[in-house]
Homo-oligomer: A and B are copies of this chain.
Amino acid sequence: MTSFTDRTKASLREALLDAAADLLPEGGYAGLRMADVAARAGVSRQTVYNEFGNKAALTQAVALRTASEFLDGIRQRFETADSLLAGIHHAVVYTIEHARENRLVAAALGTEAGEDLLPLLTTKGEPILTAAADLAAEQYREFEPGLSAEAAALLAETVVRLSLSHLVLPTHSAAEAADAVTAVLAPTIRQFGHNGVKR
């Protein structure tokens, strides 16, 4: 049983992340005021600093939590897939389609105020990329036990990078983007399944 104080602290973090996630799409990173986050969460401004340290860390945490919500969806898509390739396809389609419906992502990609959030998906997107790639690699290996850890990691990072790229700079529909990803990677997956990474 988790202690009450632990749950309290967790709910505090959630409340702060909720508040920041609500406010970020409106004014972007620059428009986000720590005092507003605190007020919306019903705590003092100092408490926000005690919990996250500074505005950049708070924003990064919001990004990571948003990403983890997507990862949950991706996990579900994988569970119902027939093959590794099909799972990847489903996951890519899901990611691209649902990301555009997400308020925060949509603001980062499409609005003037939110454009200073874009680095979270690109230049400062390493935490998200790593988190997503780690999960994906794990999923891949569960699906295809013959896959070596290195092969899974490489494959996962590639898929995530391609997905993010198609998300940030779309040139086709989500389904077409997924087609492209799977088409490119299909031979590689077959190869890895047999022999592991070739260098």
Interface of A toward B, CB cutoff 8 Å? 1-4, 6-8, 11-12, 15, 39-43, 47
Contacts and interface: CB of A to CB of B under 8 A. Distances in A.
Contact of A8 (B6, B8, B39, B47): B8
Copies of this chain, complex-wide, total 2
Nearest to A40: B1
Contacts of A43: 3-4
Nearest to A3: B42
Contact of A4 (B4, B7, B15): B15
Contacts of A4: 12, 15, 41-43, 47
A50 to B, nearest CB: 12
Contacts of A47: 4
A11 B42 CA distance: 15
A96 to B, nearest CB: 36
A185 to B, nearest CB: 46
B12 A42 contact: no
Contacts of A41: 4
A15 B8 CA distance: 11
Nearest to A16: B4
